Amino acid sequence: MACFIVPKVVEGIELQKALRRLKIKLADIKKTYHANGKTLVCLKKRVKTKIDRSLFASGEEEAEIIAIDEFVSRFSYLIDEERRAEIAATMSEIKSISGIEREIYGRAILDLKGTKEPSRLNLYFVKFGRSRIIDTEITSGDIVLISRGEPLKSDLVGTVSEVRRNFITVAFEERPPKWVYTQGIRIDLYVNDVTFKRMEENLQLLRHATNHKRRLRNIALGIWEPKGALKTDVTPVTKLNPTQKDAVSLALGSEAFLIHGPPGTGKTSTLIELIVQEVKRGNKVLATADSNTAVDNMLQRLAKYELTLVRVGHPARILYELEEFSIHAKYAKSLEAEAIRKGWEEVGLLVKERDKYSKPTQARARGMSRDRITTLAARGKSMRGISVATMQSMAKWIKYDNKIEALVKSLKSQEEDAYRKIIESADVVLSTNGMIMSEVLKDHEFDVAVIDEGSQQVIPSTLIPIMHAKRFVIAGDHKQLPPTVVSDTKELKKSLFEDLINRYPKLSQMLRIQYRMNQKIMGFSNEMFYDGKLIADESVKNHTIADLGLQKPSRFCDILDETPVVFVDTRGMEAYERLPDRSTSYENEKEAKIVQTLVEELMEMGAKVENIGIITPYAAQVKLLKKLLDSQERVFEIKSVDGFQGREKEIIIISFVRSNERGEIGFLQDFRRLNVALTRAKRKLICIGDSQTLSHNEVYAKLIEYMQKKGKVRRWNEGA
């Protein structure tokens, strides 16, 4: 297949014109590809042509353009599919299940009453509260739909600013209606459409990247090989272990680097040290993650150092205690802001003055241009039945409107300059990946992008910060949960972090010392997922629940003693799974009752609610456990595996749910979920399941064998 280059992007009529000059018909074209500001035209095999050889692409350039075009086209399609799937899934769930069920799943909050909060940063805040504890997956930065109990009849959307025990604060860009201050308000988690649009926009920028951006793009997509990592001398400002120090040293000397941080190994601490070291070397840093929570976590930790930090994002998505670092708060305190504010006040006065006169609407002006109206008014003439007085009144309206337009343009330019100065003066700019494509940030470039949560992001999201820097470092753990995807597309479930660490293992450093778990809790995941490379730090190696000052258990002593890992076996107990009506998710009532009994005994022993976490892979089991355990006074952290990613508790209880004679374990076979579940506990891990069902799978058989060897496997005895 002969392919030649047109040195600009041409499509449609432009393409036909270019082909005509080369005496080629549109019918002779097999396919065209666009990348690097060029068009690659590939001819059908039968076509004979006398095109100048200088127009033909080299094999390397041809392969690059085709690869980029196909990547951008494919992922643009996948992102749109995911956006549609997410919207459809949200609307379908709102339609098909009750508000009470949706609240149990953590995606709605019912029976709220709004109270007006002070406005700030040009936003209107409403605090929605109730006496009952709010236990929800909805978090700061989420887009929510507010309704009077019927979400499908509402179009009021806001951004969550804060979630506390008994209230949730939501920010609105426009003044909310008065009904939000009444009883019976419902809040539903909604879809953030903007994020998808920004990923698509970045893909189009990436398509025609030049210079170092082209190089980083090609490294990220596996088209070009990166340079090797060079160790850089570093004097840490914090206490680092050898693997953390190596990670920082190698990252400083790389154009692309990956920090592999298994559970509890201090991945974020390593990133903070890296950012501080980059600034010490005079580099401007873009620190990003997919979630606002992760970005704010980095910001909180960087705030201890003498750095100029700027957090870019919707003001409502930034923790209140970190608001001083918000670009909007910094702008409000700037010298320029006061003059600009007075300018906007002047605009308001001009608008009032302008509106005293006749607006030259289409009907009133009768087809005349603004210039024509102004000329006729100056001459004192009427035309087309318009009186001189009306003509002159319209001319005065136009005069004021022109002043307003010029002043608004000037003020917007001044605002842009003020925001640009804030960004340029910063050592570190922190933002979610999507927010980098906002007007405030999209034209800025940084020396290095430091990207957290790399293994939980879809590839187009991670590519946004990469396209705004000269180097990049990604931190993550591809042995934990992959990106969360609704559309069930394999390509979106693989992160760029996983892709790169498999392709360039020498450009990565694994953090090996973990500071969370007793070594016996760590042990199974260490052997199964991390090749036995993890080492428990002395501070946690042998810690147990004995350190919490609990009383001795009066029941289930064999399960609730100081042994770090226990498997409670329900084999032969008729503790079978079931599918509730209208559900595709499994529950197991017997396992739920066992969890309830053990939790009640732990509370009798003196354990605190915040010490205990309950994990189950199935949403229906989450719902059942919440019904059994939660009350007006106390709410336990009961979540799916996905909901517990990044979390930890002193004591974790896992309910595996699946129990059947066929040995089917369904999506328990996603072993990355198993890894996450097993590594949330610090001092005590209790797993509940049917060994006969689970052991049909080799990995679960090994897990039970490990617990027998390093801890205990005990049959459940109600009267123990």
- The tens digit of pLDDT for each residue in 315-346 reads 777 777 888 999 988 998 888 888 888 998 99
Output the six-digit token pair for 435.
Answer: 């927010």
pLDDT band at 1 (very low <50, low <70, confident <90, very high): low
State mean pLDDT over 143-169. Answer: 92
State mean pLDDT over 587-593. Answer: 96
How far apart (Å, rounded) are the C-alpha atoms in residues 251 and 297?
Answer: 21
Q: Please count the other Cβ atoms lying within 10 Å of the Cβ belonging to residue 426.
A: 24
Q: What is the pLDDT of residue 264?
A: 96
| Residue pLDDT, tens place only, 361-401 | 988 888 899 999 999 999 999 888 899 999 999 999 999 99
Percent of the chain clearing pLDDT 70 (strictly above): 99
In the block, tokens 């210039």 appear at 371
Report CA torsion sign: 513, 517, 518, 523. Answer: negative
Top pLDDT among 611 and 24 is at: 611
Tell me the pLDDT of the chain averaged across its residues. Answer: 92
* 429, 285 contact by CB (below 8 A): yes
Of 517, 558, 488, whose CA–CA distance to 677 is shortest?
A: 517
How far apart (Å, rounded) are the C-alpha atoms in residues 602 and 244?
Answer: 37
Describe the crossing of helices 619-629 and 589-604 by its angle, rounded to 10 degrees. Answer: 40
| Residue pLDDT, tens place only, 266-319 | 999 999 999 999 999 999 999 999 988 899 999 999 999 999 999 998 877 777
The residue count of the chain comes to 720
Q: What is the pLDDT of residue 595?
A: 97
Q: Please count the other Cβ atoms lying within 10 Å of the Cβ belonging to residue 584.
A: 9
pLDDT band at 489 (very low <50, low <70, confident <90, very high): confident
* 34, 207 contact by CB (below 8 A): yes
How far apart (Å, rounded) are the C-alpha atoms in residues 614 and 595?
Answer: 8
Q: What is the pLDDT of residue 719?
A: 58
What totals of helices (H) and strands (E) does the chain contain, helices first?
Answer: 24, 24
CA angle centred on 111, ends 108 and 113, rounded to 5°: 110
Of 92, 138, 135, 96, whose CA–CA distance to 627 is shortest?
A: 135
Q: Please count the other Cβ atoms lying within 10 Å of the Cβ belonging to residue 566.
A: 22
pLDDT at 459 over 70: yes
Q: Which residues contact 227 (CB under 8 A, 6 or more apart)?
A: 254, 255
Q: pTM of the predicted model, to two decimals?
A: 0.88
Percent of the chain clearing pLDDT 90 (strictly above): 73
Q: 27-31, 257-261, 688-692: which has the minimum mean pLDDT?
A: 27-31
pLDDT band at 720 (very low <50, low <70, confident <90, very high): low
pLDDT at 96 over 90: no
Q: What is the pLDDT of residue 193?
A: 84
| Residue pLDDT, tens place only, 625-647 | 998 998 767 889 999 998 888 88
Q: What is the largest CA-CA distance in the chain?
A: 104
pLDDT at 45 over 80: no
Output the six-digit token pair for 518.
Answer: 């007793």
pLDDT at 55 over 80: no
How far apart (Å, rounded) are the C-alpha atoms in residues 559 and 557?
Answer: 5
Output the six-digit token pair for 195.
Answer: 């994020």
Top pLDDT among 27 and 298 is at: 298
Q: Which residues contact 327 (CB under 8 A, 6 or more apart)?
A: 310, 311, 312, 419, 422, 423, 440
